[in-house]
Homo-oligomer: A and B are copies of this chain.
Amino acid sequence: MNIPDIDLPRIVVIGAGFAGLKLARQINTKYHQLVLIDKNNFHTFQPLLYQVASAGLEPDSIAYPIRKTLRKKKNTFFRLVEVKSLDSETKTLHTNIGTLSYDYLVIASGAGNNFFSNETIEENAIPMKSLTEALDLRSKMLENFERALNTQDLDKRNELMNFVIVGAGPTGVELAGALAELRNKILPKDFPDLDLRQMKIHLIEAAPRVLSAMSEKSSLKANKYLKKLGVHIYTETFVENYESNLVTTSVGKDFRCDTLIWAAGVAGQFPNGIDSNKVGRGNRIIVDENLQLDDATFVLGDTALINSEKYPEGLPMLASVAMQQGAYLAKQLNRKAKNKSWKPFVYNDKGTMATIGRNLAVVETGKLKFQGVMAWFVWMFVHLMLLVGFRNRVVVFVNWTWNYFRYNNGLRLIIRPYRKKKG
């Protein structure tokens, strides 16, 4: 690979998510050369993907070009490259355009979808982990309403207007709420000749309650909010199969739907070359409290399963964890370069939150738990502040404000990929 060889240790970071980008921005490049690798040329603000899917935000509001964030950093290189495998013996990375040697390797490649080996679900469901997936869901949803208008077959129309969301974690809950608001307030204006009451949103969860990672109180509130918006909730229910528009579940209840959204499982993703003994629960790489796999390799964010007495269960797959780990590793590497001592990672739990709809959110931070309007404003404020880039913050803020007063968010364009007639 085409990176200048200079007389500084080379840190190669795989992944420009919350962890990788934070590290890249905070590393001191007086002491290091930094190479950041990603398969996209932009950073995705994943917590708001569901708003792109529900046509509330445009993709450019929650994506930020990596080159722009790194513009002012010296000794820093971004490469749009796919990593194939790594060889920790020779400290070499193999990519689709050749090899790259490293002094330090940082694996921050995040998590992908986990379909638990169910191939028919993998084939037919729409996942929600990337911008293109979110856009695909949006286009499919809007096309389905157009198609529903064009059919006289009532069963077919119901299938087109039924949405099944599998997984009631934050993503599933937030998407269910957003779809319900779309149905209740926005789509009836777009489709006056379609009976939107026929649109059903089913949220299916294997655990006994929604948002099971949060307290019982928050969970109950979220449940109440969802029901208020008209979402049908099925807990302790496993989706067993999804084929020919039929969803079958462990409790005998079946659903006919054209759109099944998979928000039920994620798994760490990383290049080949990691010792399988080092891979733990959720396909995450087991690291020590220095986030270290071996002398030269560190793992951050969703990909890392920290194994220490302090965190017997590891840490949750949250943006907040990833950012703290990115900042931590940058700091330690900077300290090491100055011959200062290395300190173990300490997680500062900032809590969790989820928004269900307008004025409806749940927040837990430390011992403080609150819900409703206040929680909703806190949720908005925190998410605005976390967005990368002044422009994105302004665009999202203006969109949200406009939507709050006008109930009319987004443009709902169906932009499908360009296909050549030939070839």
Contacts and interface: CB of A to CB of B under 8 A. Distances in A.
Interface string A381-414: 0000000000100000000001000000001111
A328 to B, nearest CB: 28
B422 A123 contact: yes
A372 B412 CA distance: 38
Interface stretch (A14-22, A74-82, A172-180, A233-241): A74-82
A65 B189 CA distance: 12
Nearest to A192: B71
A246 to B, nearest CB: 17
Nearest to A80: B146
Interface stretch (A26-34, A147-155, A163-171): A147-155
A307 interface: no
Contacts of A133: 418
Interface string A29-66: 00000000000111000000000000000111001110
A129 B152 CA distance: 34
A65 B411 contact: yes
B412 A65 contact: yes
Nearest to A143: B80
A136 interface: yes
A252 interface: no
A135 B419 CA distance: 12
Given A60-B413, A63-B413, A151 B2 contact: yes
A135 B391 CA distance: 21
Contact of A59 (B40, B136, B151, B415): B415
Contacts of A196: none
A416 interface: yes
Please tell me how many copies of the chain the complex holds.
2
A136 B189 contact: no
A335 B76 CA distance: 68
Interface in A197-227: none
Contacts of A65: 190, 411-413
Contact of A41 (B64, B119, B412): B412
A421 interface: yes
A416 B82 CA distance: 15
B417 A150 contact: no
Contacts of A132: 415-418
A193 B6 CA distance: 14
A312 interface: no
A420 B150 contact: no
A310 interface: no
Interface of A: 1-2, 40-42, 58-60, 63-65, 67-68, 71, 77, 79-81, 97, 119, 122-123, 130-133, 135-136, 142-143, 146, 149-152, 189-193, 391, 402, 411-418, 420-423
Given A64-B411, A97-B151, A391-B402, 10 more contacts: A2-B150, A41-B146, A42-B413, A42-B415, A58-B58, A65-B411, A79-B150, A80-B146, A97-B150, A119-B422
